[in-house]
Amino acid sequence: MSVTDERERRWRLVLGREARCEGGLSAADQGMDGALEALYNRGDAGSGSAGGGQRSAGLGGSAPRVARWLGDIREYFPTSVVQVMQKDAMDRLGLHQLLLEPEMMEAVEPDVHLVGTLLSLNRVMPDKARESARAVVRRVVDDLERRVAQKTRSLVQGAIDRSVRTHRPRRVADIDWNATIRRNLANYLPEHNTIVPETLVGYGRRSRGVQKDVVLAIDQSGSMASSVVYASVFGAVLASMSTLRTSLVVFDTAVVDLTEQLTDPVEVLFGTQLGGGTHINKAIAYCQGLITKPTDSIFVLISDLYEGGVRAEMLKRVAAMQAAGVQVVVLLALSDEGAPFYDRENASALAEMGVPAFACTPDVFPELMAAAIQGQPLTSWVEKHRDT
């Protein structure tokens, strides 16, 4: 695109559909134009129009339309522009009033995406609107906890129990037959086509004290909103288990440790600040300081891997964790949103190190954690669950 065409495109988006421009708009630009028009459109009656041929506020008072618009602007504009448009919506359209009206929450089904929208507005919300938003977030979080808590605790605790080996299993059900067969291959009797299990390998039972450390590092850039919500809920569930020591860290260009708020995932979520850049290396460096028992630790990085820091240092830190015995898990997304956008170069570099980077749905996350706790090769686990 020439400089002239780009200048014409920009003026068309600024002035609106009545601007005289020779070229048309692409599909993406039409989406941007629609989002701009909803906030700054021309002279809609009853919408606070300024008239005079200039764009003016015209998003109107429709709560569902506002909710869709908030999602659109995050898709079409960078974080800095989204923040300006959200502030304009608050000032021009009285958006805080919509957030306080029951019709707003009744028209839009409270879900993870709405929570992400509300959290992205957190810093510009009036206090009363924040109270209303907190109530909606609480409803969504409580529902998610009910759905995932039992399965997560059951699978994770089972994995902890079965991660210890003993040569004196108490019950037949505690025998690990695959490990027992491998241990006794030298005792194979070909004439009987059988193995004599002189040494049994079984699953032990540990005490109720802390057995594993889990460190969750969550990228809070705007594209990771749904992942932040799910990870906060799972973090709270894991933190409720006495056999785990769970830490939760969120990051963009700064790193914030929210471990103390893990008893209440709503507090965790309102401690995040969606948007901004990404400094993965800095986050990993902080998390390395939280790991005191590498061979009994699981580090879960949830990020799209778009690194704004030092890429080489980031990869070196992951390699150091692995060498120390930490089980490293890298999730490109923890959500139901399908294939995420991510930095493929960084994902490939991690895969070459034996750390597959992949998206994970909330339904299978408990199984993933169980596999990590038992020290299973995650590359094999990913292949097994790729079509799940």
- For residue 74 the two structure tokens come to 């995050």
Per-residue confidence band for 113, with pLDDT thresholds at 50, 70 and 90: confident
- pLDDT tops 80 at residue 163: no
Q: What is the pLDDT of residue 64?
A: 56
- pLDDT tops 70 at residue 104: no
Cα distance between residue 34 and residue 41, in whole Å: 9
Q: What is the pLDDT of residue 52?
A: 39
- pLDDT tops 90 at residue 369: yes
pTM attached to this predicted model: 0.68
Percent of the chain with pLDDT over 90: 37
**More confident call, 45 vs 222:** 222
The pairing of beta strand 212-219 with beta strand 202-203: unpaired
| Mean pLDDT of the region 67-95 | 74
Q: Could you tell me which residues are beta bridge partners of residue 219?
A: 251
Q: What is the pLDDT of residue 235?
A: 95
Query: Would you list the DSSP string of 15-74?
Result: H-TTS--SS---HHHHHHHHHHHHHH-B--TTTT---TTSB----TT-HHHHHHHHHHHH
- Integer CA distances (angstroms), 31 to 23, 170, 273, in order: 16, 64, 26
Burial of 77 (0-12, 13-18, 19+ CB in 10 A): middle
- pLDDT tops 50 at residue 51: no
**More confident call, 198 vs 295:** 295
Query: Would you list the DSSP string of 117-161?
Result: HHHHTGGG--HHHHHHHHHHHHHHHHHHHHHHHHHHHHHHHHHHH
Amino acid letter at 100? Answer: L
**More confident call, 248 vs 201:** 248
Q: What is the pLDDT of residue 61?
A: 52
Q: What is the pLDDT of residue 111?
A: 78
Q: What is the pLDDT of residues 186-201, one digit of tens each?
A: 888 888 888 888 887 7
End-to-end CA distance of the chain: 43
| Mean pLDDT of the region 62-91 | 73
Phi, psi at residue 300, to the nearest 5°?
A: -115, 115
- pLDDT tops 60 at residue 165: no
Per-residue confidence band for 379, with pLDDT thresholds at 50, 70 and 90: confident
Largest CA distance in the chain: 99
Q: What is the pLDDT of residues 142-152, one digit of tens each?
A: 999 999 999 99
Query: Average per-residue pLDDT in the chain?
Result: 81
- Integer CA distances (angstroms), 113 to 21, 71, 258, 337, 340, in order: 36, 8, 22, 10, 15
Nearest Cα residue to 348 out of 374, 384, 311: 311
